[in-house]
Chain A
Amino acid sequence: MTQFLQQIINGLSIGSVYALVALGYTMVYGIIKLINFAHGEIFMVGAYLAMIFITVFNFPLWAAMLGSMAGSALLGIVIEKVAYKPLRKSSRTAALITAIGVSFLLQNAMLLIMGARIYTFPQVFQNTSWIFFGLRINTLQIMMFLTSIALMISLQFIVLKTKVGRAMRAVAVDKEAAALMGVDVNHTISMTFALGSALAGAAGVMVGLYYISMTPYMGFAPGLKAFVAAVFGGIGIIPGAMFGGFAIGIIETLVAGYGSTLFKDAVVYAILIIVLLVKPSGLFGKGGKEKV
């Protein structure tokens, strides 16, 4: 039982990262119906940016995190303007292939710039661990959990209570109608990319702190898992992405803890396939009729 609870705690901390990345997937999918494959790479860039801010410019951790969120947001906007905007009218397959291209471009550009060597994230965080009732929990885990919850609440606030958020929801429902009502669609889509990418950047910093080692490939697998999380919760739905992220994190650590570490990735993909077959709209999704 203690071990089980311990796995849940570990799962929640890594799950908060997945949840943050999943939010970006969900927001972008909700607004332009595109699986932004490059989202995982934005997360990777965020981690590298924070490392550079800390080691080169001696930023404190919070400033590095804000800096990498800003940098990631900018990168997200640029990617959308350059690669996805010209494709808004073309087939979804074309957009998806472009997204794969962008993902590979970022990964290999980073390999070219930083080399294939493994960097270690600077350990600026004073990490102490406590033991409650036999459960080990450390400051970093608490910090990750609280930061991601805070970010999610602020995101929910932006989406539900602000003008930009209202525009986002309007564009997600009907682009043309929103434009007719005076919503600047391009600006709104850019904002969505910026917000989603900023969250990915923050998640990148947390993963850097948590796993310490960093490579240009670090974004791909967590990116896919976060996507699975988004689908699990119901893509396009913000609370669904949060729930999915935590769920995937917990399932993954449970499989690693009780089964085999080697199979933990396979289980996540299997979950994806099962969810898509049983309830493609996700756990929180409402099944809608397809429009002709």
Chain B
Amino acid sequence: MILLKKHKKTLLYFVLWFIVLIGVNVLIDTRIINPYYRSVLYGIGINVILGVSLNIIIGLSGQLSLGHGGFMSIGAYSTAIMLRSNPTLSGLALGVGLGLMISFVVSYMVAMPTLRLKGDYLAIATLGVGEIIRIVILNLNVTNGASGISNIKNLMSWPLMFIVASLAVILTLRFKYSKWGRAAISIKEDELASESMGVNVTRIKVIAFMFGALLAAVAGAMYATTYYVVKPETFGIDMSISILIIVVLGGMGSLSGSMLAAVFVGVVNMFLQSFGQVRMLIYALILILVMIFRPEGLLGLDELSWSTIKKRLFKDAKVVKS
């Protein structure tokens, strides 16, 4: 009984989570959510994974990475190749595993040297890495060059998407409040100060970077099996920037903010689907305006919960008074 009381909140969250899982699945089965909206939902799910994974790198440890699309493409291509010979869920699992492995090696190779660089150099170096990954994929045989891989087996279903996205969110949340996560936040606030307090700056940066890169590979795997086509140009700088927009909009370091922003971006994309340029124009404006007027993003470092909402309202009220 005491145990139940202690974990009441957790249990409540789990029940809520389960209701969403089953509820949406029923809605999809009964075609209340038609296949079009279903694909929008999947898109949001992928964006959630991408958003929280990049947020670990940018929002928590404060390293601006512009090569996230590259790591995503590693996962996407591994999955596409694995599913070609084994078009089942086990093939998908193998693809994710392969993607994680390659992503692990590549991100380690990238992170160890480049993360010694300061902010803006790092951004360019990661951008270069993303481009190099894209060019390598473009020139390999197994990835089928510029035409990419099509007819990938579509194994995506709502439970799969929801479970994977939830796992990604839970993992990143655990990371944020772990020893490493707190060290990462301290690095973002003041690198020299945290170093003098005994934080191994490079190590924490590498861990955060690799963690984000691994999750990006998972998102890529989900992308491959949802949209059943992967092409090198999908994962270029445009992709990295659109993930950046999710992070910036939601808040640097706020994982729930990234989730909200992923939903927002998904919905905006749905409405503006036929206006490609206007959409990109709006995103560019969002990037600039958010940075000028609210550089920490919508939620900043906070997570969405009743206490933060109360804190916000209270704090704002005080500011108005003074």
Tell me if A69 counts as interface (CB < 8 A to partner B): no
| CA–CA, A266 and B292, complex, Å | 33
A108 engages B281 (CB within 8 Å): yes
Are B285 and A101 in touch, CB under 8 angstroms? yes
Q: How far is the CA of A179 from the CA of B175 in the complex (A)?
A: 45
Asked if A262 is at the interface (CB within 8 A of a chain B CB), the reply is yes
> B57 to chain A: closest CB distance in Å?
11
Interface of A is mostly: helix
Task: Say whether B129 contacts A273, CB under 8 Å.
Answer: yes
In the complex, what distance in Å separates the CA atom of A272 from the CA atom of B125?
7
- Complex CA gap A75/B120 in Å reads 23
CA distance A205 to B313 in the complex (A): 54
Digit string of B200-239 for contact with A (CB within 8 Å is 1, else 0)?
0000000000000000000000000000000000000100
Residues of A within 8 A of B283 (CB): 104
Q: List 19 A-B contacts (CB under 8 A).
A: A33-B120, A93-B58, A93-B119, A97-B244, A97-B291, A101-B285, A101-B287, A102-B284, A104-B241, A105-B281, A108-B277, A108-B281, A111-B280, A269-B127, A269-B131, A273-B113, A273-B114, A277-B113, A277-B116
B246 lies within 8 A of chain A by Cβ: no
Main secondary structure of the interface of B (DSSP, over half): helix
Asked if B135 lies at the interface with its beta carbon under 8 angstroms from chain A, I say yes
Judging by beta carbons under 8 Å apart, are A98 and B287 in contact? yes
CB contacts under 8 Å to A, within B123-162, are 123-125, 127-129, 131-132, 135-136, 138-139
Q: Measuring CB to CB, which residues of chain A are less than 8 angstroms from any residue of chain B? A: 33-35, 83, 86-87, 90-98, 100-102, 104-105, 107-109, 111-112, 220, 224, 227-228, 231, 260, 262-263, 265-266, 269-270, 272-273, 276-277, 280, 292
Q: Is the CB of B139 within 8 A of A263?
A: yes
Partner of A97 from B138, B139, B287 at Cβ < 8 Å: B287
Given A35-B120, A93-B62, the answer on whether A86 and B292 have CB atoms closer than 8 Å is: yes
Residue picked from A96, A104, A231, A269, most chain B C-beta under 10 Å: A104
- A87–B131 Cα distance when bound, in Å, is 28
Question: Is there a chain A Cβ closer than 8 Å to B19's Cβ?
Answer: no
Contact mask B253-291 → A, CB, 8 Å, 1/0? 000000000000000000000000110110111111001
Q: Is B192 an interface residue (CB 8 A)?
A: yes
